[in-house]
């Protein structure tokens, strides 16, 4: 049976992604955890493959528009793909359905959401401060730092499905100040395709992917992305970024509060079962 709530959620998130280029993993993963009660690891794994499908379309559009810098994509992938594989191997050593795995995903997800919110709010200030106090790196150092950024994004995305959007774009804006914004966005989206695909397949192998959820989300998100792209130039971008940042902060706070509440409950239960004498 088709669950209309999943389709509607996919549509709403797709609409935001189409208008801002940000918000896929940042909104979909918390939505699956908080609203639908999906286990954090399964929410991340399902969202990664969902993101791989949606970002493939965006990558094709940017490719046709020649707004992808493939050398940057290769540098990011050189760091992110190995980092993702190592991270997924480490996760596979844990029980995906365990409380420890849930805690790890939730903690990293909260941190990634707060970082994304901070980038959305202070993006221009961060970029201006960097350019005012730090000289432009030489090409060799820029290439090395790009690989390191890719590795960090690979770890974040593999654990939380968040990081390949706002954080990746912010890093590229700082590292490549002379590159057009369209090329930065296009390169970030193109890099996200292999990263989310590798990370998603890794989660599938581990057993933390729900294909039914992916299909329902795609059914709603694809028309949502199309409609959002149409309205992108008709809505104030700054207002959207601030609204999205505020939403992410609230979501991160809710996740952190729920996690703390569950942790305290587990501790209390352990003391009840094993009273001290």
Which range is least confidently modeled, 46-50, 79-83, 99-103?
99-103
Question: Which of 16-30, 36-50, 143-157 shows the highest mean pLDDT?
Answer: 143-157
CB-count burial class (<10 Å; 0-12, 13-18, 19+) for 99:
exposed
Residue 134 within any structural domain of the chain: yes
Between 273 and 42, the more confident residue is 42
The predicted pLDDT at position 161 comes to: 86
pLDDT band at residue 230 using 50, 70 and 90 as cut-offs: low
In 20-44, which positions are buried (b, 16+ CB within 10 angstroms) versus exposed (e)? bbbbbbbbbbbbbbeeeebbbbbbb
- Residue 72, pLDDT above cutoff 90: yes
Residue 61 within any structural domain of the chain: yes
Which tens digits make up the pLDDT trace of 246-265?
Answer: 777 887 887 777 766 665 55
Residue 166 within any structural domain of the chain: yes
Rounded CA-CA distance 203/220 in Å is 23
Tokens of 119: 């980038």
Q: Domain span at residue 203? A: 4-268
- Residues of the chain with pLDDT > 90, as a percent, come to 21
Residue 276 within any structural domain of the chain: no
The predicted pLDDT at position 203 comes to: 93
The predicted pLDDT at position 2 comes to: 57
Q: Is the pTM of this model over 0.85?
A: no
pLDDT band at residue 85 using 50, 70 and 90 as cut-offs: very high
Residue 277 within any structural domain of the chain: no
Which tens digits make up the pLDDT trace of 117-172?
Answer: 888 788 778 777 776 666 666 788 889 999 999 999 999 999 988 877 778 888 88
Residue 74 within any structural domain of the chain: yes
Which residue in 219, 170, 186 sits closest to 63, CA to CA? 186
The predicted pLDDT at position 145 comes to: 92
The predicted pLDDT at position 26 comes to: 77
Residue 87 within any structural domain of the chain: yes
CA dist list (Å): 33 to 17, 37, 93, 109, 117: 19, 5, 22, 11, 19
The predicted pLDDT at position 133 comes to: 65
The predicted pLDDT at position 197 comes to: 93
- Residues of the chain with pLDDT > 70, as a percent, come to 82
**End-to-end CA separation in angstroms for the chain:** 54
Please report which residue ranges of the chain form alpha helices under DSSP H.
Answer: 4-20, 24-34, 40-64, 70-92, 99-133, 139-160, 166-175, 181-206, 211-231, 237-273
**Mean pLDDT within 34-54:** 88
The answer to whether the CB of 29 falls within 8 A of the CB of 41 is no
The predicted pLDDT at position 91 comes to: 85
Indicate the number of domains in the chain.
1
């Amino acid at each position: 049976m088709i669950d209309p709530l999943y389709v509607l959620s996919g549509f709403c998130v797709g609409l935001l992604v189409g208008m801002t280029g940000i918000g896929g993993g940042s909104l979909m993963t918390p939505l699956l955890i908080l609203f639908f009660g999906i286990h954090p690891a399964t929410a991340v794994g399902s969202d990664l493959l969902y993101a791989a499908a949606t970002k493939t379309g965006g990558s094709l559009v940017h490719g046709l528009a020649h707004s992808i810098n493939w050398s940057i994509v290769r540098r990011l992938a050189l760091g992110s793909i190995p980092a993702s594989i190592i991270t997924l191997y480490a996760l596979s050593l844990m029980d995906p359905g365990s409380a420890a795995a849930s805690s790890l995903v939730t903690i990293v997800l909260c941190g990634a959401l707060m970082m994304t919110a901070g980038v959305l709010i202070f993006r221009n200030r961060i970029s201006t401060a960097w350019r005012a106090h730090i000289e432009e790196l030489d090409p060799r150092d820029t290439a090395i730092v790009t690989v390191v950024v890719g590795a960090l994004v690979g770890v974040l995305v593999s654990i939380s499905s968040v990081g390949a959007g706002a954080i990746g774009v912010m890093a590229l804006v700082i590292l490549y100040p002379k590159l057009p914004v369209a090329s930065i966005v296009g390169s970030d989206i193109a890099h996200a395709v292999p990263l989310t695909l590798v990370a998603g397949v890794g989660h599938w192998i581990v057993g933390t992917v729900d294909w039914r959820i992916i299909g329902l989300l795609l059914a709603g998100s694809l028309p949502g992305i199309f409609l959002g792209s149409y309205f992108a130039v008709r809505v104030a971008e700054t207002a959207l970024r601030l609204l999205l940042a505020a939403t992410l902060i609230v979501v991160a706070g809710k996740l952190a509060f729920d996690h703390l509440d569950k942790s305290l409950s587990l501790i209390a239960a352990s003391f009840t079962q094993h009273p001290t004498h």
